[in-house]
Amino acid sequence: MSDKDLRKYSRIVVDGPEKAPSRAMLRAVGFGEDDFSKPQIGIASTWSMVTPCNMHIKELADEAAAGADEAGAKGVVFNTISVSDGISMGTPGMRYSLVSREIIADSIEAVAGAEGFDGLVTIGGCDKNMPACVMAMARMNRPSVFVYGGTIRPGAKRRDIVAVFEAVGAAASGRITSEELLEVEQTAIPGPGACGGMYTANTMASAIEALGMSLANSSAQEAVSADKIKDCRRAGAAVMELIRRDIKPLDIMTRPAFENAIAVVIALGGSTNAVLHLLALAREADVDLSLDDFTRIGARVPVLGDLKPSGRYLMSELIAIGGIQPMMKRMLDRGLLHGDCLTVTGKTLAENLADVEDYPAGQDIVRDFETPIKPDSHLAILYGNLAPEGAVAKISGKEGLRFEGTARVFASEEEALQAILGDEVKSGDVVVVRYEGPRGGPGMREMLSPTSAIMGKGLGSDVALITDGRFSGGSHGFVVGHVSPEAAVGGPIGLLEDGDRILIDAQTRELNVDVDEAELERRKTRWQPPATTIRRGALAKYRACVSSASEGAVTVPPPWDR
């Protein structure tokens, strides 16, 4: 293949006398004469100083560009936004978190499309910019590799950000002093990297690797490490090889590849957000994936990783024993993964795993199949008169598999948190947080603050929480999110009243309220959609276009273009 053929998109931008203005501008940003004849690889960096998850990614992007240059391409770094879930959590600002996934995907698409890049490296460090990067790669369908920015190192006493959230609940209940709370706050976050447990960032990094869109071990490297630097260099070079072989994201992101990603998420005990994000990625890749696929795959895949939040270990400790590759090799050998799926290495998953060594003897972070944490998935897709379109529960089994209790209904996360911290929520209650869905929020806020407050107060086994919003990967306890249809569009969760009896059953996969259909219909005739003051800007646009959580909460074209 000639160099001109390798430059499928960039040659349109830089070749010929009429493109002299384009070349003139590129000379100013560092292009030499020879660079115009090389494939251009865009390096999408999510660097910013708004969060430790992404504060180191500028250097990683430069390494990826250098790797592309060494392989005979021209690496061009550009930025996109990131917002911090951990900082905005529990505030109105959290509405922008899921919205940012769409903004980031749109912005990468816009830059790559406008500049004529022949390939892409995208580097994400927090849970929304990671799926956003891969969504954009699927849209553009140009040779691409995703790089995970890496996990944070543990804080003092193996603390992480969830330890801080739970310490707030512990302080409110008098279980620790204000001085002890301050000490946790001061020591939990020691530097760069994404949240340290199997929360959403590490879950999605693992899912993307299993999907085939990252190089081996990209998900299992600390943010500040020589391995992560090498990963970035290798990614830049790998895209050049993908360009030569004309291997594109949609060649990799097939239905079997998505099934691999789901299986790995389950085996690791990963975040409920993976359901939302994998559905969104599948839509971008035009792959038919639904909530029921999580149930089908979950019936045969056990939870093997004893990882936080419900387990004992941090991602850094999993990295120390070999990361997720040995677990994937075990799963492949047991027939739980599709080994013939193509990956960004240009090899199949089975070829990538062929020489992977098993975990060291005596480790107990990843269980054997004979002694799993749970014999089937911790992600339970529930249906019933409260969730006709489905809901997603994260139930490890430690909380039990069934909860029946009395509804305590709140119209926002703030109201619920105030009641929990004020000792108004008691054992046997089911906290209902509604009007926090994709449209109702708008933005589908995560409920880490109320769930952490419940755990911090020692009520994790005695109180359940259901919401049309979603959960942080750090949430644990008896929690059910993504309840669809959401309250803001007239879903049954919007018809609940204090005192209603609610049944959550992970075994029968039901979410029901003990109110007869006639009474629910009477309540529906009285229901009115909530008023809103959000009439312009990103949140208003998102609310107007967003789909149900059961479809990934993706933004869709307006009706006249569907």
Q: Per residue, what are the HEC states of 95-109?
A: HHHHHHHHHHHHHHH
For residues 153-174, average pLDDT: 88
**Active-site choice (452, 472, 475, 484):** 472
Q: Provide the greatest CA pair distance for the chain.
A: 76
Q: What is the pLDDT of residues 187-223, one digit of tens each?
A: 999 999 999 999 999 999 999 999 999 999 999 999 9
Distance in angstroms (rounded) separating the CA atoms of residues 213 and 360:
27
Closest to 264 (Cα-Cα) out of 291, 304, 233, 226: 304
Separation between Cα atoms, residue 411 and residue 408, nearest integer Å: 10
For this structure, is 472 an active site residue? yes
> Strand 40-45's sheet: what is its strand order?
74-79, 40-45, 119-124, 144-148
pLDDT of residue 397 exceeding 80, the answer is no
Peptide bond into 52 cis (omega under 30): no
pLDDT of amino acid 1: 55
How much is the average pLDDT of 261-281?
Answer: 97
| pLDDT score of 321 more than 90 | yes
Residues 296-304, mean pLDDT to the nearest whole number: 98
DSSP 162-216: HHHHHHHHHHHTTSS-HHHHHHHHHHS--SSSB-SSSSHHHHHHHHHHHHT-S-T
Report the pLDDT averaged over residues 308-324: 95
Mean pLDDT, all residues of the chain: 94
Separation of alpha carbons 44 and 200, rounded Å:
20
Is residue 68 within 8 Å of 74, Cβ to Cβ? yes
Helix (H) or strand (E) holding 467: strand 464-467
- Show the beta-strand stretches assigned E in 18-118: 40-45, 74-79
Residue in 40, 78, 66, 53 with CA at minimum distance from that of residue 234: 66
Please choose, from the candidates 106, 132, 48, 115, the residue with its C-alpha nearest in 3D space to the C-alpha of residue 76. 115
Residues counted in the chain? 562
Please state, in angstroms and rounded to a whole number, the distance separating the CA atoms of residues 275 and 380.
Answer: 11
Q: Where are the alpha helices (DSSP H) in 394-516?
A: 413-421, 448-456
The region that residue 316 occupies, defined by phi over 0 for left and psi between -120 and 50 for alpha, beta otherwise, is: alpha
Q: What is the pLDDT of residue 487?
A: 98
Task: Report which of 400, 128, 377 is spatially closest to residue 269, judged by C-alpha positions.
Answer: 377
Q: Taking the CA atoms of 270, 275, 277 and 283 in sequence, report the sign of the dihedral they define.
A: positive
Contact between residue 446 and residue 433 where contact means Cβ atoms under 8 Å apart:
no
Tens digits of residue pLDDT in 102-135:
999 999 999 999 999 999 999 999 889 999 999 9
Q: How much is the pLDDT for 562? A: 46
**CA distances, 308 to each of 314, 324, 547 (Å):** 6, 15, 31
Query: In degrees rounded to 5, what are phi and psi of residue 437?
Result: -75, -175
pLDDT tier at 559, thresholds 50, 70, 90:
low
Residue with tokens 């995208």: 122
Residue 558 has pLDDT above 70, yes or no: no
Helix axes 413-421, 448-456, angle to 10 degrees: 10
- How many other C-beta atoms can be found within 10 angstroms of the C-beta atom of residue 161? 26
Residue 149 pLDDT > 50? yes
So what's the pLDDT on residue 368? Answer: 97
